[in-house]
Amino acid sequence: METNSGFFSSGRRAVVVGVLAALILLFTAGSFGLTWDEPAYISASTSYAGWFRRLIVGPHGVLNRSVIESHWQITSEAPPFDMEISGLVWLAAHNVVDDLLAHRLANILLAGLAVGLLYHMVRDELGEVAGLGAAVLLLLMPRFFLHAHLAALDVPVACMTVVVTYVFWRTKESARVRYTVLLGIVSGLAFATKIHGLIVLPTLLLWTLIFRRKFYLIVRILVAALLGGAVFVGVWPWLYYDTVERVTAYIQFFTVSHVPIAQYFLHKTGTPPAWQFPFVMIWAVVPLGTTILYLLGAARTFFRRRDRAFCSLLILSALAPLAVLAAGGSMMFDNERLFMPAFPFLAALAGAGFSWLVLLLRTAFQRIRSPLPVIVLSGAAAVLVLAPTVYGMARVYPHLLSYYSESVGGLPGANAMGLETTYWSESYREAIDFVNEQAQPGDSVWVEPGTYDILVYYQLHGVLRDDVTIAVTYDSNPQTIFGTGVPFPVVAVPYTQASFVIVQYRESFLVDAQGKPSEILTWMSGRTPAFRVEREGIPILDVYRNP
């Protein structure tokens, strides 16, 4: 553990690391198209921001049931903390930057905070090399990097998991009550970010029972769970009325009531996929060099006694989100995004693995006074790890949801293996440019059911031409903007009659449970796309034009 002066010094460096991470994400934010869940969360954050504006301007009546329900009913199935801070940041920024970046900005800043805290925690336990390695390798996890830009909840709950773990670790040697209160507050905010935030305290309790068994730590975690529950309710005005019923509905929504989201895996679509799905996906989407390093970091747990407790915490924190999905209780899957909280801890283990490699090199060359051989070999190892990752990212950029590591042969190997090519509609952005160039006034554009909100957002903000009509398969007139009740003109037109048909290669939509092609995939097979997005020879998106 560092001295106080060392702690504050590393704290300043953690700020620099966090700021640099946020700046990198900020400068690359324009690369990534709008994704499937973002329109709903954007709409909710805007509505919540309206409630906060009323609270600031004149708080009278803001707690009335009718006022709360008018602002908080939208997306009431998801906890609000991230959408609250996103809405507040959007209020401050939307007149300075474009609307989408303003909605994404809070999550970019939150990701920067998490990277800084991860660096700080790992650096103070395992040294500078490990801390920097953790920060760099996290940002160079292509799937995490893309998700860290989005106005969605997956990286925010991963970030809040890092925050809770950091607070627990930094305060574990003291029995002071204020640290229990602090842990309860940040745990409650994690609960209020996404249901996955409930995983972190049981993970910390398990670690405590194995490695510390101090009574005050056990009590701290249990009390923090109770305080966290109070914070969870306190930051969610929707729960101020009919609290028990609405909390019950929230729990049921994510356990038994949610519409199943099937997963394409090993050439078949179904839910839940086989238990090994999250472990296969982690192997497939984390760069191979990083995988080798986090396995080396895990081995460090057994060979270096002084590091055992901390590295074991990293291992448990990485495994917990994977184990929950592997248990088969969830009916919702979207590739790696639902176990995003595992990624920071895998990066931390990889940083630990790299620093151990450097220590082994120092030991091997300790009789040589010059540090040059260690520096050269450490640099060569870093290049061997980072160069393939950067090259792999560049080959599919900006479609990082189609990134697969060398461990499965990249995107072509993953495609042959039966893993999903893409899944969250970020590739629609390139199709919009093509439609804008080719469409005649009044032409209709069809997209996969459930994703038309993306086109609505693009049209509202001038990205998609306003003389183009958005087509939906089902007849529900009028459609509304993101569930707000505001009418938006769409037409009920099947894909066989729409002027343009945009299809992402999301195989869970294109292939059934027996591995047979769906009706639209059969329709596509007899046609030549008018426009295609592909990487490494694999199509990611097609645009078809009906005569």
Whether 197 and 182 have beta carbons less than 8 Å apart is answered as no
Q: What is the pLDDT of residue 20?
A: 98
Beta strands 487-488; 444-446: pairing state: unpaired
Reading the block at residue 58, the tokens are: 């004149």
Report in angstroms the alpha-carbon separations of 125 from 166, 293, 385, 432: 12, 17, 23, 48
Which tens digit of pLDDT belongs to each residue from 192-232?
999 999 999 999 999 999 998 899 999 999 999 999 999 99
- pLDDT per residue as tens digits for the range 82-138: 999 999 999 999 999 999 999 999 999 999 999 999 999 999 999 999 999 999 999
Closest alpha carbon to 333 in 264, 389, 282:
264
Q: At what angle do helices 308-326 and 277-285 cross, to 10 degrees?
A: 120
pLDDT value at residue 229: 97
Strands 263-265 and 268-270: antiparallel
CA-to-CA distance for 343 and 40, rounded, in angstroms?
25
Preceding omega of 272 cis (within 30 degrees of 0): yes
First to last CA, the chain: 70
Backbone angles phi, psi at 112, to 5 degrees: -60, -40
Q: What percent of the chain has pLDDT over 70?
A: 94
| Of the listed ranges 68-72, 261-265, 431-435, the one predicted with least confidence | 261-265
Q: What is the pLDDT of residue 2?
A: 45
Nearest to 84 by CA among 112, 57, 106: 106
Yes or no: say if 354 and 372 are a contact pair by the CB < 8 Å rule. Answer: no
CB neighbour class for 302 (10 Å; exposed up to 12, middle 13-18, buried from 19): exposed
- Per-residue pLDDT of 258-282, as tens digits, reads 677 889 999 999 888 889 999 999 9
pLDDT at 145 over 80: yes
Close Cβ partners of 400 (under 8 Å, ≥ 6 residues apart): 32, 142, 143, 145, 146, 393
Is the whole-model pTM more than 0.85? Answer: yes
CA distance 221 to 201: 7
What per-residue confidence (pLDDT) applies to 3?
46
User: Which of 280, 283, 310 lies closest to 295 in space, CA to CA?
Assistant: 283
CB within 8 Å of 358: residues ≥ 6 apart? 129, 374, 378, 381
